[in-house]
């Protein structure tokens, strides 16, 4: 990256390095851990004693790590966010912008003015009212320890209309300036702020504070803004500051080369009172990240971001320049112990780093990493690829490998403790607002959430500009699935001989390291086989799945389904095949089924069995009757140890960094020679060569690569010799995980830092001789190999140890054991049961090794136990080894859950007459969700369900309601509480427990019934019901005229004696009946069985509503309930249900009459029968009740 003039944001051109290929411009203080000299970085021996001396494993995401799902968050409409601070769940974000934009909204829409600073809720992403007015760029935001103040620094002159030069304090709640606090900082700007209860420290690029000379550092009293004596000095600007936990030191980072007149390259610890340099804090002795002053290149390196948790200080570094003399020594991130400053770990990911935040378990950085193979992430790609977000363990889990780019530009941090990285890689689209062309510039967090801010314009191809949130527990669960689907995924390749095998390139996932691959057959609903494989965007291997049930002669359609740990999936295109019963020789079958892209059986075979191209065979190669393996290609080839003893491929092929090559050989030579390699020519001595496996004079095997022009050859050699006259099987593999030589099925040499050969190399595979070994390490006396070579094959990806062992066993005629494991434990204390389901005749299992997927291992059968420290999905591997040394491995995923935390039951209740309403919204489940609610009502009736429920009691009294909740993992909790219910006093009520033959007589409460329409004999009372006999076209209204009410709730039960086919009948309730009219709410029992509610004012129909889910059958009884309320504007609401079923919770239909009957009136019952109806119908009415609502 290149630097602008000090403190500025004006772009200036330049390149990151000679090999970067990417123009960089703009702000020159990126976060990072940049290593910048060709020498190995000195590291105290004690710092690495407690960690494994191997690369830290790349980890699967656990429940402590955010997913890659971007969560809706307020955006900015243009500009950028430079700094963030968090108080509780409120994030304060400052930078350069004039408007906030609603979450996910398009540019220019849903805008809310904000003046270079805003606040949002990190749990919801919602914009908060906090809205100070700041007239310039904000580059530092920090909170006071008690959270009451927000300090801002930058380049500005006014805040909320008042004069404030480059520094101000705001009320965290209102955004108002803190009264009585008005320091002024003169210079280019304040870029870093850190506070204690008594002092607030600022850093940046300035010359005075409160009109007193200061050089880039100053401190003020929090009480009144008075300048404190604290006055360190630096030669260049300060970009970040924190107060170390415990307040023993102020830690500062920036692009300075000296502090207090002494060399201090980018990082310093200062006494919080005197301002003196604290030389006992050790980190600056290791992290030296500035451009030396003598170089006269101002600000070519620096420390961009600093943060801390309870035990460590974390920083990020950036660097630029073409040689170590112009650079700092760290691109990436570091962790230093609180108190001592001892380096805990370094992640030397090339490409500058910016923001950093730690949860105490997980450390997040923003960056533009283009290679990080030393920490087990991606190597440099052929076309440089940047990623902008990383997640690491807070602890050291291994050691860094030496980078392949420690060539005078980058420092060599090999052997330094390293964190493990997590496989979490959301996609950011870079922005241009700063001139940097970057994505995230800062990170903060609270609880399960983090917030990333910067100048990005989208995340995962969705609209997130400048601010985005991520969570360890996103609503709806992790939704990022395998990235490639259908045609975007590689087409499966089929080997049709039974058992059919389908091979496909691995997929990848934004937040899962491992994917489960399932072979799906169109006539089956379940997978016919499946396997788990590490699946990374930079390390595309292949997986092969077998259909053991395929029958020769049958035609099948297969797809491959990739499934991540969260259940998200992607499916490949289908592929059709007819299963074949052809018998392919065992060894050839293994080679071809593992995806060889070149296969030279040799002997009598003079062709490549993959391309069918003719091999170029020199006259010094002769055929022998027997080779290394039997089967279809039993013959072998002898190479005579001269340039004539050679074989080369039919055509040049494009070779990648991810490959394998294997061969069988036998020799007694003491002059060594080339066994295989790639060369630029098919015959003669090639002008260039690479990927060479050769034998040294002492019989040891060496494999080497020539990564790029001018680089030294990188090679690795076995410790044992193999010129013993016996057949040996050798495989050389290279991938982003490093280089390994396997001999006779076992790893014989490895170098995990060897991850790259020549880029875009087109070469011929050459066997036996190519004439270019003299300059390679431990070069043999002879370039030509004297001995037998058989069964050469090359592959477009690195074979794994299981595949290598399978090839060796197939060549020897051995059968490897088969491993299996299972578990029924939910975790975190897991018990695994393992076994060998097959062991070859005469062999036995001599060892069993477990890899629990979290960096822990175990041994033994039949069981192994392990306690996980975090919930998550882990790939558990069992490897069994038989007495020949052959291994069988099985990998499956185990879902580990934290111990269930029991839910807490709580509910609130209310009563209305005889009805109790309950709501369990207060119930909680700290580690999951509540799956079920059960309500015991205390009256012997059936239990209720749902988070909210109602229950109507048959009689008044006190009842105990008991709530039982069950969470998603089976945990249960109960709570009981008493409710007292009582029926409201009725204005009118009638149970019809009498006999009357002419009219209905007098109601139990309210007075006499008055019939309107027809003879009195049409109304009668018997059998506990009031009846209305209705002929076709007749209408009968009975009212209780002694009652006069306006706002009422009414109900009744009713039934009809005739079946629906005999015509429509109406039964209803009457309210506000007077000379002014009435409201009649009728149940319309249609001839076709449908049931509707009709609301009328007099004879005018106001609304009609068909009740869903209800039809009338003969003998059905119903309940109708009506509420009438209001004055001139009257609202009528109604509900209807079959008698005996639960009452609907809500009114089913309502109508507001704007010209209502604004007067009290009588109440009553209505009945009528359509003129088209046949015969006579009888409506029976019971449980008539009217409540006066005032």
Specify the CATH class of 825-885 in words: mainly beta
Residue 775 per-residue DSSP state = T
- 70-83 confidence digits (pLDDT tens): 999 999 999 999 99
Token pair 């450390």 in the structure block, residue = 363
Minimal CA–CA distance to 879: which of 888, 869, 870? Answer: 888
Residue 1160 per-residue DSSP state = -
SS (H, E, C) 469-505: EEECCCCCCCCCCECCCECCCCCCEEECECCEEEEEE
Cβ density class 44-76: b for 16+ within 10 Å, e for less = eeebbeebeeebbbbbbbbebbbbbbbbbbbbb
Query: Average pLDDT of 422-431?
Result: 97
| CATH 2.30.42.10 matches 586-812 | no
- 1121-1130 confidence digits (pLDDT tens): 999 999 989 9
- 564-576 confidence digits (pLDDT tens): 999 999 999 999 9
Token pair 């079946």 in the structure block, residue = 1059
Question: Is 636 in contact with 790 (CB distance < 8 Å)?
Answer: yes
- Give the percent of the chain with pLDDT over 90: 73
- 1043-1069 confidence digits (pLDDT tens): 999 999 999 999 999 887 788 899 999
Token pair 């955004």 in the structure block, residue = 175
Give the confidence band of 925 by pLDDT, cuts at 50, 70, 90. Answer: very high
Q: Is the pLDDT of residue 606 over 50?
A: yes
- 1067-1091 confidence digits (pLDDT tens): 999 999 999 999 999 999 998 999 9
Minimal CA–CA distance to 693: which of 740, 654, 762, 651? Answer: 740
Number of H-type helices and E-type strands within the chain: 3, 87
Q: Is the pLDDT of residue 182 over 50?
A: yes
pLDDT at 897: 82
d(CA 701, CA 693): 7
Give the confidence band of 365 by pLDDT, cuts at 50, 70, 90. Answer: very high
pLDDT at 91: 98
Q: How far is CA 1130 from CA 618, 811, 1060, 1071, 1153, in A?
A: 105, 92, 33, 12, 5
The region, left, alpha or beta by phi > 0 then psi within -120 to 50, assigned to residue 920 is alpha
Give the confidence band of 709 by pLDDT, cuts at 50, 70, 90. Answer: confident
**Same CATH fold, 908-981 and 825-885?**
yes
Q: How far is CA 319 from CA 27, 288, 406, in A?
A: 12, 11, 14
Question: Is 303 in contact with 316 (CB distance < 8 Å)?
Answer: yes
- 189-235 confidence digits (pLDDT tens): 999 999 999 999 999 999 999 999 999 999 999 999 999 999 999 99
Q: 1073 forms bridges with which residues in the sheet?
A: 1162
Specify the CATH class of 908-981 in words: mainly beta
Least confident of 317-321, 713-717, 1063-1067, 1094-1098: 317-321
Per domain, the residue ranges of the chain are 45-471, 493-578, 586-812, 825-885, 908-981, 988-1188
pLDDT at 32: 29
Q: Classify 324 as helix, strand or coil.
A: helix
Residue 329 token pair: 């020594």
What are the residues whose beta carbons fall under 8 Å from the beta carbon of 540, sequence distance 6 or more?
A: 505, 506, 508, 658, 797
What sign does the dihedral 225-226-228-233 (CA atoms) show? positive
Give the confidence band of 583 by pLDDT, cuts at 50, 70, 90. Answer: low
Q: How far is CA 583 from CA 561, 606, 632, in A?
A: 29, 22, 10
- 711-755 confidence digits (pLDDT tens): 789 999 999 999 999 999 999 999 988 999 999 999 999 998 898
Q: Quick check: bond before 135 cis, omega within 30?
A: no
pLDDT at 497: 82
Find the angle CA(953)-CA(1051)-CA(1053) to the nearest 5 degrees: 85
Q: 419 forms bridges with which residues in the sheet?
A: 396
Strand extents, DSSP E, 1034-1116 = 1035-1045, 1048-1056, 1065-1074, 1077-1085, 1090-1097, 1100-1111
Q: Taking the model in full, what pTM does it have? A: 0.66
- Of the two residues 199 and 604, the one the predictor is more confident about is 199
Ordered DSSP codes for 627-681 = -S--TT---EEEEESSTTS-EE-SS-EEE-SSEEEEEEEE---SS-EEEEEEES-
pLDDT at 44: 41
Query: Average pLDDT of 433-442?
Result: 95
Q: Mean pLDDT of all residues in the chain?
A: 90
Minimal CA–CA distance to 1140: which of 1156, 1160, 1117? Answer: 1117
pLDDT at 869: 84
| CATH 3.50.50.60 matches 493-578 | no
Q: Classify 1084 as helix, strand or coil.
A: strand
Specify the CATH class of 45-471 in words: mainly beta
Cβ density class 527-544: b for 16+ within 10 Å, e for less = bbbbbbbbbbbbbbbbbb
Least confident of 625-634, 691-700, 1016-1025: 625-634
Q: Classify 1016 as helix, strand or coil.
A: helix
What are the residues whose beta carbons fall under 8 Å from the beta carbon of 291, sequence distance 6 or more?
A: 255, 257, 297, 298, 299, 300, 301, 321, 326, 327, 328
pLDDT at 296: 65
Residue 654 burial class via C-beta count within 10 angstroms: exposed 0-12, middle 13-18, buried 19 and up: exposed
Give, rounded to a whole angstrom, the gap between the first and last alpha carbons of the chain: 78
- Of the CA atoms within 13 Å of residue 920, those in its CB half-sphere come to 31
Query: Average pLDDT of 814-836?
Result: 89
Q: How far is CA 906 from CA 584, 925, 945, in A?
A: 69, 11, 15
d(CA 590, CA 604): 20
What are the residues whose beta carbons fall under 8 Å from the beta carbon of 1173, sequence distance 6 or more?
A: 1032, 1033, 1062, 1063, 1064, 1065, 1087
Say how far residue 984 (Cα) sits from the centre of its chain. 56
Q: Return the axis-axis angle of helices 586-593 and 801-812, rounded to nearest 10°.
A: 160
Question: Is 560 in contact with 490 (CB distance < 8 Å)?
Answer: no
Q: Which fold has domain 988-1188?
A: Jelly Rolls (2.60.120)
Q: How far is CA 257 from CA 187, 291, 378, 1088, in A?
A: 20, 7, 32, 92
Residue 117 token pair: 């600073």
Q: Classify 915 as helix, strand or coil.
A: strand
Question: Is 389 in contact with 364 (CB distance < 8 Å)?
Answer: yes
Residue 826 token pair: 């939910």
Minimal CA–CA distance to 744: which of 720, 765, 768? Answer: 720
Q: Classify 1060 as helix, strand or coil.
A: helix
d(CA 925, CA 1149): 37
Query: Average pLDDT of 751-776?
Result: 90
pLDDT at 408: 60
Q: 957 forms bridges with which residues in the sheet?
A: 981
Give the confidence band of 380 by pLDDT, cuts at 50, 70, 90. Answer: confident
Helix (H) or strand (E) holding 797: none
pLDDT at 20: 32
């Amino acid at each position: 990256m290149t630097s602008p003039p000090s403190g500025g944001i004006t772009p200036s051109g330049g390149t990151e390095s000679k090999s970067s290929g990417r123009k960089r411009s703009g702000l020159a203080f990126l976060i990072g851990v940049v290593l910048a000299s060709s020498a190995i970085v000195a590291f105290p021996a004690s710092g690495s004693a407690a960690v494994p001396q191997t690369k830290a494993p790349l980890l699967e995401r656990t429940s402590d790590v955010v997913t890659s799902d971007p969560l809706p968050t307020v955006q900015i409409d243009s500009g950028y966010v430079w700094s963030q601070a968090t108080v509780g769940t409120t994030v304060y974000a400052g930078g350069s912008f004039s408007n906030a934009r609603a979450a996910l909204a398009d540019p220019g829409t849903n805008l809310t003015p904000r003046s270079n600073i805003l606040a949002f809720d990190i749990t919801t992403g919602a914009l908060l009212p906090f809205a100070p007015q700041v007239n310039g760029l904000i580059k530092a935001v920090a909170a006071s320890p008690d959270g009451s103040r927000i300090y801002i620094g930058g380049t500005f002159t006014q805040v909320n209309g008042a004069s404030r030069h480059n520094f101000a304090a705001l009320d965290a709640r209102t955004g108002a300036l803190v009264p009585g606090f008005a320091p002024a900082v003169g210079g280019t700007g304040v870029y870093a702020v850190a506070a204690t209860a008594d002092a607030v420290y600022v850093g940046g690029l300035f010359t005075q504070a409160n009109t007193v000379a200061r050089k880039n550092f100053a401190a003020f009293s929090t009480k009144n803004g008075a300048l404190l004596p604290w006055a360190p000095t630096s030669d260049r600007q300060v970009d970040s500051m924190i107060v170390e936990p415990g307040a023993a030191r102020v830690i500062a980072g920036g692009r300075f080369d000296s502090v207090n007149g002494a060399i201090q390259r980018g990082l310093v610890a200062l006494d919080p009172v005197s301002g003196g340099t604290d030389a006992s804090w050790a980190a600056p002795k290791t992290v030296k990240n500035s451009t030396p002053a003598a170089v006269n290149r101002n600000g070519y390196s620096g420390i961009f971001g600093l943060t801390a948790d309870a035990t460590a200080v974390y920083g990020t570094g950036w660097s630029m320049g073409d040689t170590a003399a112009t650079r700092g020594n760290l691109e990436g991130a570091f962790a230093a112990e609180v108190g001592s400053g001892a380096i805990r770990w370094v992640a030397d990911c090339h490409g500058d780093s910016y923001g950093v935040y730690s949860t105490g378990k997980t450390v997040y950085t923003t960056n533009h990493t283009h290679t990080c193979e030393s920490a087990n992430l991606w190597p440099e790609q052929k076309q440089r690829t940047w990623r902008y977000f990383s997640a690491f363990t807070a602890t050291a889990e291994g050691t860094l490998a030496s980078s392949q780019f420690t060539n005078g530009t980058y420092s060599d941090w090999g052997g330094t403790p390293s964190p493990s990285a997590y496989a979490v890689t959301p996609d950011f689209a870079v922005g241009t607002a700063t001139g940097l062309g970057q994505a995230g510039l800062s990170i903060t967090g609270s609880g399960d959430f983090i917030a990333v801010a910067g100048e990005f314009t989208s995340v995962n191809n969705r609209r997130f500009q400048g601010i985005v949130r991520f969570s360890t527990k996103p609503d709806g669960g992790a939704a990022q699935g395998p990235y490639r689907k259908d045609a975007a995924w590689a087409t499966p390749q089929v080997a049709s001989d039974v058992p059919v095998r389908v091979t496909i390139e691995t997929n990848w996932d934004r937040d899962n390291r491992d994917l489960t691959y399932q072979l799906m057959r169109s006539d089956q609903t379940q997978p016919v086989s499946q396997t788990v494989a590490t699946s990374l965007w930079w390390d595309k291997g292949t997986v092969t799945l077998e259909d053991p049930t395929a029958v020769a002669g049958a035609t099948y359609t297969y797809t491959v389904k990739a499934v991540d740990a969260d259940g998200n999936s992607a499916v490949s295109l289908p592929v059709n095949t007819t299963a074949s019963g052809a018998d392919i020789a065992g060894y050839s079958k293994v080679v071809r089924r593992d995806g060889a892209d070149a296969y030279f059986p040799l002997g009598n075979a003079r062709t490549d069995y993959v391309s069918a191209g003719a091999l170029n065979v020199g006259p010094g190669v002769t055929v022998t009757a027997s080779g290394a393996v039997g089967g279809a290609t039993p013959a072998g080839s002898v190479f005579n140890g001269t340039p004539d003893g050679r074989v080369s491929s039919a055509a040049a092929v494009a070779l990648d960094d991810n490959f394998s090559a294997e061969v069988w050989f036998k020799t007694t030579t003491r002059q060594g020679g080339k066994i295989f390699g790639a060369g630029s020519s098919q015959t003669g001595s090639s002008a260039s060569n690479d990927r060479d496996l050769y034998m040294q004079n002492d019989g040891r095997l060496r494999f080497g690569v020539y990564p790029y022009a001018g680089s030294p050859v990188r090679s690795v050699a076995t410790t044992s010799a193999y010129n013993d006259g016996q057949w040996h099987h050798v495989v050389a593999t290279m991938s982003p995980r490093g280089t390994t030589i396997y001999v006779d099925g076992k790893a014989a040499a490895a170098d995990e830092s060897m991850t790259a050969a020549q880029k875009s190399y087109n070469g011929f595979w050459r066997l036996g001789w190519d004439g270019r070994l003299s300059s390679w390490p431990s070069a043999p006396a002879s370039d030509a190999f004297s001995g037998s070579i058989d069964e050469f094959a090359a592959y477009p990806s690195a074979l794994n140890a299981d595949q290598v062992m399978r090839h060796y066993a197939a060549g020897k005629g051995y059968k490897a054991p088969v491993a299996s494991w299972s578990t029924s434990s939910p975790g975190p204390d897991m018990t695994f049961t393992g076994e060998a389901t097959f062991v070859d005749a005469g062999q036995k299992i001599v060892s069993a090794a477990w890899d629990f997927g979290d960096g822990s291992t175990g041994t033994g059968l039949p069981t192994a136990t392990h306690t996980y420290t975090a919930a998550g999905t882990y790939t558990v591997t069992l490897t069994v080894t038989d007495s020949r040394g052959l291994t069988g491995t099985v990998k499956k995923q185990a879902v580990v859950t934290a111990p269930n935390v029991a839910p807490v039951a709580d509910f609130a209740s209310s009563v209305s007459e005889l009805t109790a309403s309950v709501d369990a919204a207060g119930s909680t489940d700290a580690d999951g969700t509540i799956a079920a609610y059960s309500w015991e009502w205390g009256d012997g009736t059936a239990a209720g369900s749902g988070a909210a429920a109602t229950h109507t009691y048959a009689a008044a009294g006190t009842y105990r309601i008991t709530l039982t909740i069950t969470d998603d993992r089976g945990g249960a909790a109960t709570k009981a509480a008493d409710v007292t219910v009582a029926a409201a006093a009725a204005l009118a009520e009638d149970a019809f427990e009498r006999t009357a033959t002419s009219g209905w007589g007098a109601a139990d409460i309210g007075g006499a019934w008055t019939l309107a329409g027809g003879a009195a004999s049409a109304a009668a009372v018997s059998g506990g019901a009031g009846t209305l006999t209705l002929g076709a076209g007749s209408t009968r209204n009975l009212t209780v005229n002694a009652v006069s009410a306006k706002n009422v709730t009414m109900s009744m039960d009713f039934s009809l004696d005739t079946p629906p086919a005999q015509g429509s009948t109406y039964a209803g309730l009457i309210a506000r009946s007077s000379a002014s009219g009435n409201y009649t709410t009728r149940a319309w029992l249609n001839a076709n069985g449908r049931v509707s509610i009709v609301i009328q004012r007099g004879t005018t129909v106001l609304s009609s509503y068909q009740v869903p889910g209800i039809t009338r059958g003969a003998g059905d009884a119903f309940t109708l309930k009506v509420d009438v309320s209001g004055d001139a504007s009257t609202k009528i609401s109604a509900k209807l249900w079959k008698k005996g079923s639960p009452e609907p919770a809500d009114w089913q239909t309502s109508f507001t009459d704007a010209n209502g009957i604004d007067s009290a009136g009588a109440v009553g019952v209505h009945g009528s029968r359509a003129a088209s109806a046949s015969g006579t119908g009888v409506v029976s009415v019971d449980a008539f009740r009217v409540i006066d609502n005032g």
